[in-house]
Structure 1
C-alpha cells in the first residue's frame, strides 16, 4: 500500500473530495493542514509541484491540482467505475460540478456589496437550481441505480455529496425542484465510512 500525505489548509475547500475518497476507500493517509497562510507560504509552498494547494505526496512523488489528486486516489482504490463508459459518466459529473466553480468564486470574493447581492440572487434563483436539476437528471439517467455511474459508489457520488451538502446550507432552496438528489445526499451521508469521517473531521467554516 502506498504512503499518502495530503497537504492543504485547515479547511474542507478543494481537498475535501480527496479526503472523502480516502474515507470511502478505507485508506489511511497523513492529513497535513497548514496553520495559516504564512505557514503555507513559508513552509510548504516550495514543496508543491505547481506552487498551489492541495497537493498529494505518494511514496515521495508529489502531485498537484485537486481533481488530478482525487481522480488518482479514486482510480487506485476502485472508485472510478468498472468500464470506460463508467469513467466517462463520472467525468461528466465532475465537469458539471466544475462549471459551478467560477460563479461561486466570483460571488464569494466580490467586494462590492451591491454586486455581491446581485450575484447571490442569480446563484440562488437561476444558476444553482438549474445545475442541481441537471445533476438530478444525470442521477436518474443512470437507470435508477442510486449512483451516478455504474452500480456502485464512485468519486462522482462523493463529489456531488461534497458540493451539494455545502451549497444547501447557504442556498437552502437550490434543490427544491429535484426529485432524486435530496434523498441521494442523505444516503451518501449515512454510509458508515462517510458518516465516520464526517463525525471526526475537524470542524471548519469552509
Structure 2
C-alpha cells in the first residue's frame, strides 16, 4: 500500500472530498493541515506545484487539483468507488463535473464580493449595502441555479440512492460533499423534496468509514 500525505488548510473546503474518500476506502493517510492564515500560506505557497491546495503526496510524488486527487483515491480504494467499467467511470465523472460546476458558480459570487471590497471607498454604510447585495445574489443562485440543478440530479440518481450502478462511488461522495457546502451557504437544504437525492446522502453518511470520520473529524470554522 502506498504512503499518502494530504496537504490542505485546516478546514474542509476542497480537501474534504479526499478525506471522505480515504475514510470510505479505509485507507490510512497523513492529514497535514496548514493554518488558514496569510503568513502560513505565504510561507508554504512556493512549495506547491501550481500555487494552490490541496496536494497529495504519494510515495514522495506530488499531485494537485482536488478532483484528480479524489479520482486517484477512488481508484486506489479497491471498493469499486471509481466505477466498475469505463462507462461507469465516465458517468461518475459526469456527476462530479456537474456538481463542480455548481461550486464554481457559487465561488464566483464570493469572488465578486471580494473584488468589490478591494475597490470600494464607501463608508461603513456602503459595506452594509454590499453585504445585502451578496445575500441577494446567494438567494438568486439558490432559486435560479441550485434548485433547477437538483431536479436534474434527482432524475440521474437511482431509486436506491446511487448515481452509478448499485453501490457507493466517488460520484455520490462528491455530491454529498458539495451539497453540504452549498446548503451551508444558502441557509437551506438543497435536497429538500428530492427522494432519490436524500437516499444518496443517506448512503454516503451510513458508510461505516465516512460515519466514523464525520463523527471524529476536527471541528473547523469551514
Give deviations 1:73-116, integer Å, cap 9, x for gaps: 11122310110111011011011111112321122341522431
Q: Give the equivalent residue in structure 1 for 2:42.
A: 41
Q: Give the equivalent residue in structure 1 for 2:125.
A: none
Are 1:130 and 2:148 counterparts? yes
Contact kept, 8 Å, 1:5 with 1:29, in 2: the verdict is yes
Q: State the secondary structure of the residue aligned to 2:2.
A: coil
Are 1:80 and 2:44 counterparts? no
Residues 61-72 of structure 1 mapped to structure 2, 5 A cutoff: 61-72=61-72
> How many aligned residue pairs are there?
202
The Cα shift of 1:186 comes to 2.5
Gaps of 5+ in 1: none
Match for 1:163 among 178, 186, 193?
178
The Cα shift of 1:173 comes to 4.5
Q: Give the equivalent residue in structure 2 for 1:102.
A: 104
The Cα shift of 1:40 comes to 2.3
The Cα shift of 1:197 comes to 0.2
Q: Give the equivalent residue in structure 1 for 2:190.
A: 174
Aligned CA distance change for structure 1 residues 82 and 183 (closer, same or farther; 3 Å): closer
Structure possessing the higher radius of gyration over alpha carbons: 2
Q: Give the equivalent residue in structure 1 for 2:13.
A: 13
The Cα shift of 1:9 comes to 0.4
The Cα shift of 1:168 comes to 2.7
The Cα shift of 1:189 comes to 1.1
Whole-Å Cα distance in 1 between the matches of residues 50 and 181 of structure 2? 27
Contact kept, 8 Å, 1:133 with 1:175, in 2: the verdict is no
The Cα shift of 1:45 comes to 1.9
Match for 2:166 among 151, 176, 179?
151
Q: State the secondary structure of the residue aligned to 1:100.
A: helix
Gaps of 5+ in 2: 117-129
Whole-Å Cα distance in 2 between the matches of residues 75 and 175 of structure 1? 28
Contact kept, 8 Å, 2:4 with 2:59, in 1: the verdict is yes
Q: State the secondary structure of the residue aligned to 1:19.
A: helix
Are 1:198 and 2:199 counterparts? no
Please say which of residues 106-115 and 117-126 is displaced more in the overlay. Answer: 106-115
Aligned CA distance change for structure 1 residues 66 and 101 (closer, same or farther; 3 Å): same
Contact kept, 8 Å, 1:124 with 1:173, in 2: the verdict is no
Contact kept, 8 Å, 1:50 with 1:64, in 2: the verdict is yes
Q: Give the equivalent residue in structure 2 for 1:92.
A: 94
The Cα shift of 1:38 comes to 1.6
